[in-house]
Amino acid sequence: MDFNDTAEEAAYRAQVRAWLEANAPKTHYTGDPEGNGSSMEASRAWQAKKAAAGYAQITWPKEWGGQGGNPIQQVIFNAEEAKHPVPPNPFQIGLGMCVPTVATFADQATKDRFVGPALRGEEIWCQLFSEPSGGSDVAAARTKAVRASDGSGDWLISGQKVWTTGAQFSDFGIVVCRTNPDAPKHKGLTMFWLDMHDPGVEVKPIHQMSGGSGFNEVFFTDVRVKDSQRLGAIDDGWKVSLVTLMNERLAVGGASGAGWTEFMEAARSVPGLDGAPAIKDHALREKLADWYVQAEGLKHTRNRTMTALSRGQTPGPESSIGKIVSAVQMQELGNTALEMLDQFGIIDDPELAPLRAGFHSSLMFAPGLRIAGGTDEILKNIIAERVLGLPGDIRVDKDVAFKDMPTGR
Ligand SMILES: Cc1cc2nc3c(=O)[nH]c(=O)nc-3n(C[C@H](O)[C@H](O)[C@H](O)COP(=O)(O)OP(=O)(O)OC[C@H]3O[C@@H](n4cnc5c(N)ncnc54)[C@H](O)[C@@H]3O)c2cc1C
């Protein structure tokens, strides 16, 4: 493991820092933290600025508007960008997962049509995978696509997706559909891209405890898509979704905003029960010691991932450890911070609350982080099977025709 920047990485970091210093917003954006509504204009403007300078997707090839850079450069940019008060990024799912999937499986004209506008933040994409019957088990999707009976070769999509982040302001989406119920669940799926404004697409935002609506239910009623909107071969959608999911895992970054530094500052200044600074409290010190050990372990695990990226290798399944530890820690840290801040902890207004209500929003977001992109249990299964070499999860439905599964009827 090498924790330090190489000479090239240090030079790149200096270049990125200088550009951010000159171009990043200077004041905190006070709009909607979910990345919709009033903050959208600021998000789009920042995205366009990054795209013009080649920083929007550093690893993408130059002809797509990237820098043809390596993942470690993207990691460096993300880390440096996080030090500036930039607006929310509603483009991440599209650029990190959907557009690379379209670019891998669509023809040149389709690529040319979609890559630039997505990169510049002009068009937003969503990922339509999870359904009421399957989130962890994406292959259990029931939304169906059938050929239109008019001989056009078009497909008609019907069914429901759920937890679709950003669907309410997305222009396009990639959707995994059941096309062959007679085949086992992994072998009868097909992937399409579709226009979210098409007739038959209905988006219903889900109201969250944070007050926002980051994700949605999406209903499809005979939504007509052309066969040219198919990504990959018919019934081969599982392979296509693995490309999307692999890109999701590679979207390095993990949990942010756990607020370790802010927590320590607050613990030094906020009085505890006996009037002395909270940091003197023994119970709090015990928790701090536990978190410190976890944070150090996490830092070294991340360094291992960074080293693999730096050497041009793909990070292994051990990168699953990062989200398990950091999401739980984010939840515990937020909870303890709110207790420590006493009555000020319950104020959920960035303009009035101490630390701009940062711990409030991380406490509200943390449970979602423990579910999104693989639940704690699924990640533990991955670690058990692929890191520790323990026996695999029992998969009784692997070879059963989808229509014969209880959820397939
Ligand atoms: C903030 C957020 C954003 C999201 N954005 C999107 C999005 O944009 N697009 C999208 O398609 N989806 C999105 N999702 C959905 C997310 O992918 C699913 O919620 C997740 O995969 C879990 O699926 P589920 O909710 O159906 O839970 P289930 O899969 O039904 O799981 C329920 C419980 O059972 C456990 N469990 C399931 N299978 C196993 C197993 N084999 N072994 C042990 N335990 C198991 C789980 O850990 C969980 O505790 C988002 C979710 C969140 C929280």
Beta strand residue intervals within 3-134, DSSP E: 125-128
pLDDT tier at 17 (50, 70, 90 boundaries)? very high
Tell me whether strands 172-178 and 201-205 are parallel, antiparallel or unpaired: unpaired
Of residues 171 and 265, the one with the higher pLDDT is 171
CA of 164 to the centre of ligand 1 (A): 12
Residue 218 pLDDT exceeds 90: yes
pTM of the model: 0.90
Q: Which atom of ligand 1 is nearest to the CA of 165?
A: 8
Q: 30, 350 in Cβ contact below 8 A?
A: yes
Q: Which atom of ligand 1 is nearest to the CA of 167?
A: 8
CA of 368 to the centre of ligand 1 (A): 9
3-class DSSP assignment, residue 371:
coil
Q: Give the pair of three-digit tokens for residue 69.
A: 């850079």
Closest protein CA for atom 23 of ligand 1: 135
Q: Report angle CA 81, 258, 60 to the nearest 5 degrees.
A: 35
DSSP states of 95-118: IIIIHHHHHHHS-HHHHHHHHHHH
Nearest-CA neighbor of 221 among 162, 176, 164, 161? 161
Q: What is the CA radius of gyration of the chain?
A: 23
Nearest-CA neighbor of 164 among 131, 190, 187, 212? 131
Q: 131, 157 in Cβ contact below 8 A?
A: no
Best residue for ligand 1 mutational test, from 177, 248, 371 (most atoms within 8 Å of Cβ): 371
Distance CA 156, CA 361 (A): 40
H/E run at residue 145: strand 144-147
Best residue for ligand 1 mutational test, from 163, 164, 185, 249 (most atoms within 8 Å of Cβ): 163
CA of 230 to the centre of ligand 1 (A): 25
Q: What is the pLDDT of residues 75-124, one digit of tens each?
A: 899 989 988 989 989 999 999 999 999 999 999 999 999 999 999 999 99
User: What residues pair up with 178 in beta bridges, in sequence order?
Assistant: 144, 189
pLDDT average, residue stretch 279-302: 89
Q: 307, 343 in Cβ contact below 8 A?
A: no
Tell me whether strands 189-195 and 144-147 are parallel, antiparallel or unpaired: unpaired
CA of 2 to the centre of ligand 1 (A): 35
